[in-house]
Chains A and B, each alone.
Chain A
Amino acid sequence: AQSVSQHNHHVILSEAASLELGCNYSYGGTVNLFWYVQYPGQHLQLLLKYFSGDPLVKGIKGFEAEFIKSKFSFNLRKPSVQWSDTAEYFCAVNAKTNAGKSTFGDGTTLTVKP
């Protein structure tokens, strides 16, 4: 069975600070990895995804994530956060052989102080 663990439940940063949100997954097979963001009052949106190839993937709004296979990790980073990045962030994984079922982490709430 798949599982996803997000290490931080709530992160508070000041504008311009750097961000790193941890995500580890547990699954024996080959996976697709995702980060989704949910802004207040809005629906889940895809930030970035990893299917294969370069383990460093870049997404929208200056976010990036690095897939480290040996550590089963897919941490999200942004060098300088903005107040508008305040949102809830979800890491998700699905198996390449059964991508119709995604497993999500519990989410990390990011609050950026202006």
Chain B
Amino acid sequence: KAGVTQTPRYLIKTRGQQVTLSCSPISGHRSVSWYQQTPGQGLQFLFEYFSETQRNKGNFPGRFSGRQFSNSRSEMNVSTLELGDSALYLCASSLAGTGLTEAFFGQGTRLTVV
């Protein structure tokens, strides 16, 4: 069974640009969560989507947004990039995201903002 797939693996963008990251969850998983991982801040929760609806949101500015499609694939968008947005962005999928559940993580997208 294929794991969580994130594309692209690496991105270099300049300040002010916008970027879109993609995540394909494990087949049958309906919940997709996004995290930002940085050396100083660890893993910070961005948001979670379930059945095309944002169900949870972390404490990130509105420049960070996402969406989920009917096939459960999810995209994350960051507009007006800042240097501090450089990080590893991780996507995790789970069956239902409630009750007894565990998350399976992708390899991440390494975003560098210059």
A and B together in one complex:
yes
List residues of A whose CB falls within 8 A of some B CB.
Answer: 32, 34, 36, 42-46, 49, 51, 90, 92, 94, 96-107
Known: A100-B48, A100-B50, A101-B48. A90 touches B98 (CB 8 A): no
Chain B positions within 8 Å of A, measured between CB atoms, are 31, 33, 35, 41-43, 45, 48, 50, 55-56, 58, 90, 92, 94, 97-108
Q: How near does chain B come to A87, taking the closest CB pair, in angstroms?
A: 14
Interface majority SS (helix, strand, loop, mixed), chain A: strand
Q: By the criterion CB–CB under 8 Å, are B102 and A34 in contact?
A: yes
Total A-B Cβ pairs within 8 A:
61
B41, B42, B45, B104: which contacts A101 (Cβ < 8 A)? B45
Which residues of the partner chain B approach A103 to less than 8 Å between Cβ atoms? 45
Q: Is the CB of B102 within 8 A of A49?
A: yes
